[in-house]
């Protein structure tokens, strides 16, 4: 039987895979970039902040040219035409709304900047050993951030701010904020080495998906091994310490998502029954933690906060949802949807932030609403799916939804067609991450967070790359043995 491991490096003669090592290095560096840069003087950190992104653009050019010069076409992906359709719809929106080109490009860049990683990885040659190394490397850096976030919870906030928090920076009219540096995090919340607890929670959700998918890749016991249990515990506590309620809620149902994508229906049903008891235990633990947190010497200003049980459980109170509906994300949701349907702007108000804000302002009738739109513009993107609809309209959002669906389908196919643990882990991690992305984007600007979007597109590229590899090997297995060996190099490209 032909497997992924038979033709790997004997059949493909290649020089050192420098493109893989560059991507791998950036993947290990990204979570700690802000921490390293905070120690450098002057404007050096500002310049270095953009170096990895420019390296990826250069590497995309090199990898694509290398394939073409070797006589191989660029690998097709299931989202190529959808990406083209999305940018066509965006251009139409820009024209209809007279959106400035520069402002539109700036907004598009923050959402799509790591699409380069996707096409780099799709068109690289990746051996089984390299895939395993990549997944293990991601586990290590994600576990490290989980441990840092967990430890920070027990340290004085002043120490976390002085030692871990990234510095703010300014380029022209753009200012890179660091809520961790300014002390604007929720009282008692941690951010790891990132600038905001939202970034930490999003990053750890990627790690939790990876650890769970790895633990259940080959079946076996419902209780994973000690390393996986410890890793998942650190990640969960790190998410808890970030004080991001939506992230914690998603983290608690992530095991169910993993069982679903692995098609473990019986396990999914049994675990669902257990969740009632676990939820009750969680309520008790939160209440106890809310009291016990004051006993830690490093708690400093945490006593000023409400207890943790009340903080996490208030999401179920009618007052919380009324306030959200009238003053926070809920208000922006209503304004955006009313504005779109009243103006019938199916392509949205354009990707430029200022033009979108002005278009929405014109749909408001009262001076108080107009003032609120301007005053709270900083949280406009928080409920990002609705902000996305405002920028790109129903048309652009539907196209983007199909992009996620096609990538999800590819991940599920990889799971079904593979027996190798690494491939099943990869497929399940990304399929689970699609669910996480859809849910968390309702409350966070998740695709603007570099520590999330980089790994989303990295894993998506690995999935498509391995799908190409798997389909080539399936095709080779159906050919006569001699022909399969002779054509192995061609098929692997």
For 123: left if phi > 0, alpha if psi spans -120 to 50, otherwise beta; the answer is: alpha
Residue, of 355 and 168, whose pLDDT is higher: 355
pLDDT digits (tens, 9 = 90+) for 255-295: 889 988 988 766 665 555 455 555 556 555 555 554 444 43
pTM, 2 dp: 0.84
215-229 tens-digit pLDDT: 888 766 667 777 788
Q: What is the pLDDT of residue 177?
A: 64
Domain ranges of the chain: 8-492
Cα separation, 87 vs 79, in Å, equals: 12
**Which DSSP string corresponds to 269-288?**
HHHHHHHHHHHHHHHHHHHH
Alpha-carbon dihedral sign for residues 154, 159, 164, 165: positive
Stretch among 17-21, 116-120, 259-263, 293-297 having the lowest mean pLDDT: 293-297
Average confidence (pLDDT) over 320-328: 54
What pLDDT is attached to residue 279? Answer: 55
Question: Distance (Å, rounded) from C-alpha 176 to C-alpha 444?
Answer: 17
The whole-chain average pLDDT of the chain stands at: 79
Burial class of residue 386 (count of CB atoms within 10 Å of its CB; 0-12, 13-18, 19+): buried
- Ramachandran category for residue 178: left, alpha or beta (phi over 0 → left; psi -120 to 50 → alpha): beta
- On the 0-12 / 13-18 / 19+ scale of CB atoms within 10 A, 306 is exposed
């Amino acid at each position: 039987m032909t497997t992924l491991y038979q033709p790997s490096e004997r059949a493909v003669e290649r020089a050192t895979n420098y493109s893989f090592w560059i991507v791998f290095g950036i993947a290990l560096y990204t979570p700690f970039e802000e921490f390293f840069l905070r120690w450098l003087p002057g404007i050096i950190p500002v310049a270095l902040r953009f170096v990895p992104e420019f390296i990826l653009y250069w590497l995309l050019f090199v990898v694509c040219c290398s394939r073409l010069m070797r006589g191989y076409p660029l690998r097709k992906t299931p989202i190529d035409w959808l990406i083209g359709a999305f940018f066509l719809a965006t251009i139409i929106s820009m024209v209809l709304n007279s959106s400035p080109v520069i402002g539109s490009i700036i907004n598009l860049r923050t959402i799509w900047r790591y699409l380069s990683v996707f096409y780099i990885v799709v068109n690289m040659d990746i051996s089984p050993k390299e895939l395993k190394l990549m997944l293990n490397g991601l586990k290590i850096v994600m576990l490290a951030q989980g441990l840092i976030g967990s430890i920070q919870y027990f340290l004085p906030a002043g120490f976390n701010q002085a030692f871990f928090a990234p510095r703010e920076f300014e380029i022209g009219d753009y200012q890179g904020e660091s809520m961790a540096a300014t002390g604007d995090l929720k009282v008692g919340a941690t951010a790891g080495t990132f600038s905001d607890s939202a970034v930490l929670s999003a990053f750890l959700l990627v790690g939790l998906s990876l650890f769970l998918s790895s633990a259940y890749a080959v079946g076996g016991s419902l209780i994973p091994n000690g390393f996986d249990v410890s890793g998942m515990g650190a990640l969960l506590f790190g998410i808890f310490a970030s004080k991001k309620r939506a992230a914690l809620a998603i983290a608690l149902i992530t095991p169910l998502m993993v069982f679903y994508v692995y098609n473990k229906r019986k396990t999914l049903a049994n675990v669902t029954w257990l969740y009632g008891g676990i939820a009750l235990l969680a309520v008790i633990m939160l209440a106890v933690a809310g009291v016990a947190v004051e006993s830690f010497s490093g708690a400093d200003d945490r006593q000023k906060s409400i207890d943790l049980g009340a903080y996490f459980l208030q999401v179920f109170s009618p007052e919380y949802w009324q306030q959200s509906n009238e003053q926070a994300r809920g208000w922006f949701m209503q304004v955006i949807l009313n504005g779109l349907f009243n103006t019938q702007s199916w392509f949205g108000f354009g990707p430029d932030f200022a033009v979108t804000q002005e278009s929405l302002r014109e749909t408001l009738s009262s001076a108080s609403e107009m003032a609120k739109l301007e005053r709270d513009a900083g949280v406009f993107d928080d409920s990002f799916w609705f902000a996305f609809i405002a920028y790109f309209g129903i048309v652009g959002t539907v196209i983007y939804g199909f992009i996620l669906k096609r990538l999800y389908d590819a991940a599920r196919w990889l799971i079904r067609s593979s027996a190798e643990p690494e491939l099943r882990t990869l497929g399940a991690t990304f399929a689970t991450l699609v669910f996480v992305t859809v849910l968390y984007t309702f409350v966070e600007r998740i695709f603007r967070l570099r520590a999330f979007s980089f790994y989303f597109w990295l894993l998506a590229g690995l999935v498509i790359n391995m799908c190409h590899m798997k389909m080539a090997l399936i095709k080779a297995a159906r050919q006569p043995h001699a022909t399969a060996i002779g054509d192995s190099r061609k098929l692997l490209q």
